[in-house]
Amino acid sequence: AKTEAKTEAKTEANADKTEEDDKDDKAAQSLLNKLIRSNLVNTTNQVEVLQRDPSSPLYSVKSFEELRLKPQLLQGVYAMGFNRPSKIQETALPMMLAEPPQNLIAQSQSGTGKTAAFVLAMLSHVDPENKWPQCLCVSPTYELALQTGKVIEQMGKHYPEVQLVYAIRGNKLERGTKLQEQIVIGTPGTVLDWCQKLKFIDPKKIKVFVLDEADVMIATQGHQDQSIRIQRMLPKTCQMLLFSATFEETVWNFAKRIVPDPNIIKLKREEETLDTIKQYYVICNSKEEKFQALCNIYGAITIAQAMIFCHTRKTAGWLAGELSREGHQVALLSGEMQVEQRAAVIERFRDGKEKVLVTTNVCARGIDVEQVSVVINFDLPVDKDGNPDNETYLHRIGRTGRFGKRGLAINMVDSKFSMNILNRIQDHFNKKIEKLDTDDLDEIE
Ligand code: ADP
């Protein structure tokens, strides 16, 4: 009985695990983004460019033809359905393809075309006649490496002489192997082993080094050191490229150690705004009352699709169950699911197969489901110290100015504590959050 109680307590604790734990899981978030993204993120912002040599002219291209790519590669690009370079590619591609090669640090949010850009650069710099590794690309995880590998394979579809190999744990090669593939993609630990200990790769022959997802990479201390050690084995003439979705101080410091004399390209993400959102709050006393309020709201207004956010997996699971019992088609997204499973849930929701998505924090970012007209904070977003998480609040309900359809956000308040959080969020954004009486809902229609 004792063990049973223990197991139960453990499951309980696990179910109650806040999504704080998942926030650390940047690699999973990034993978999720890749899995659900099928096209470019639109942006109206301009790229900021900092050139190593400010006196040299800055080229940017509006078409792939201008890049004078090998015909096989241009074919590959078009086969992927790309008509013209994305905003970041307009500037990044000419720099990366310049002779002599230029180093680059580029930052832009996920989905803006970074991967496609460096894959094209790697494929362009390879000499297929030479049967040894010439491009080295490191990614933070096996799964992310695999995703990049897929892009290399797609883009290189018409260029079969170029071969690719994965330097990942589990890919065990015989001692004394000398790789013949021109492109190696892998995780830092294995790449380092293959260069140093096992000598499958001669690092002195590498012409292009890519470090992808630098912000995810530095979350693991070991990866940082390994990446720097790999970089030190490369020749001075090797082109160094580094990419990151975000650019805080720590990423920047790391980037400067990896990329000497860099050109720098930054593309700001589209600002989110609460201007086109009507915000309300509802006062309740328990989660059951919150659920009842939710039912009243559903009874009163037509909701095309809604996302409901909960603090814990346990609440999310419970709420999804209650809503199903009420006859709603509910999708549930939570942290213990595999990334692929989460991607599948989001796809289904995006396709309108389910009308309600109940979720914990994990998917607050990065997913953008245009038809969602209502966002419900079943629990208000708080950080691990119990302070309002304004940033998450904005991400959940904010819209980018350009695509801003009108939206509705409803916040559930169930204690003095959450009322205080709500007031602080209201003050922070300086936008009124109106009180809503769920027994009399005429006003929100
Ligand atoms: P990032 O690496 O910044 O996350 P990706 O290179 O993965 O961005 O591109 C995001 C999505 O946009 C992918 O589905 C990719 O195939 C597509 N894409 C990339 N470049 C272009 C382009 N020039 N035109 C159209 N689609 C593109």
pLDDT for 407 equals: 84
Which residue ranges in the chain fall short of pLDDT 50? 1-24
Structure-block tokens of residue 92: 């990044």
Q: How far apart are CA 248 and CA 324, in angstroms?
A: 42
Substitution candidate for ligand 1 out of 115, 123, 147, 211 with most atoms within 8 A of CB: 115
What's the predicted TM-score (pTM) here?
0.85
Substitution candidate for ligand 1 out of 37, 40, 211 with most atoms within 8 A of CB: 40
Q: Is 110 in the pocket of ligand 1 (CB under 6 A)?
A: yes
Q: Is 38 in the pocket of ligand 1 (CB under 6 A)?
A: yes
Distance 115 CA to ligand 1 centre (A): 7
Substitution candidate for ligand 1 out of 37, 96, 213, 267 with most atoms within 8 A of CB: 37
Helix axes 114-125 and 71-79, enclosed angle (nearest 10): 160
Question: Is beta strand 399-400 parallel, antiparallel or unpaired with respect to 272-273?
Answer: antiparallel
Distance 51 CA to ligand 1 centre (A): 24
pLDDT for 404 equals: 59
DSSP 67: G
Q: Is 62 in the pocket of ligand 1 (CB under 6 A)?
A: no
Which helix or strand (DSSP H or E) is residue 265 part of? strand 263-267
Would you list the DSSP string of 345-386?
Answer: HHHHHHTTS-SEEEE-GGGTTT---TT--EEEESS--B-TTS
| Shortest-distance Cα residue to atom 24 of ligand 1 | 82
Q: Is 87 in the pocket of ligand 1 (CB under 6 A)?
A: no
Q: Which long-range contacts link 397-400 to residues 24+ away (Cβ below 8 Å)?
A: 397/274, 397/277, 397/279, 398/272, 398/273, 398/274, 398/277, 399/272, 399/273, 399/276, 399/277, 400/270, 400/271, 400/272, 400/273
Site of tokens 């909960």: 310
* Three-class secondary structure of residue 428 per DSSP: helix
Q: Is 115 in the pocket of ligand 1 (CB under 6 A)?
A: yes
Distance 216 CA to ligand 1 centre (A): 19
Report the sign of the C-alpha dihedral through residues 243, 32, 133, 199, in that order.
Answer: positive
Site of tokens 């393809």: 97
Q: Is 39 in the pocket of ligand 1 (CB under 6 A)?
A: yes
Q: Is 244 in the pocket of ligand 1 (CB under 6 A)?
A: no
Which ligand 1 atom lies nearest to the CA of residue 245? 3
Q: Is 86 in the pocket of ligand 1 (CB under 6 A)?
A: yes
Distance 34 CA to ligand 1 centre (A): 10
Which ligand 1 atom lies nearest to the CA of residue 86? 23
| Shortest-distance Cα residue to atom 9 of ligand 1 | 113
Which ligand 1 atom lies nearest to the CA of residue 80? 16
Site of tokens 């799964």: 143
Distance 152 CA to ligand 1 centre (A): 12
Q: Is 89 in the pocket of ligand 1 (CB under 6 A)?
A: yes
Q: Is 37 in the pocket of ligand 1 (CB under 6 A)?
A: yes
Q: What is the pLDDT of residues 234-245, one digit of tens each?
A: 999 999 999 999
Q: Is 357 in the pocket of ligand 1 (CB under 6 A)?
A: no
pLDDT for 247 equals: 87
Distance 112 CA to ligand 1 centre (A): 6
pLDDT for 443 equals: 63
Q: Is 82 in the pocket of ligand 1 (CB under 6 A)?
A: yes
Distance 82 CA to ligand 1 centre (A): 8
- The verdict on whether omega for the bond into residue 100 sits within 30 degrees of 0, i.e. cis, is yes
Distance 78 CA to ligand 1 centre (A): 13
Q: Is 269 in the pocket of ligand 1 (CB under 6 A)?
A: no
Residue 374's DSSP bridge partners are 306, 408
Radius of gyration of the chain (CA): 25
Whole-Å CA distances, 237 to 106, 199, 209, 259: 20, 20, 11, 12
Q: Is 220 in the pocket of ligand 1 (CB under 6 A)?
A: no
Which ligand 1 atom lies nearest to the CA of residue 81? 25
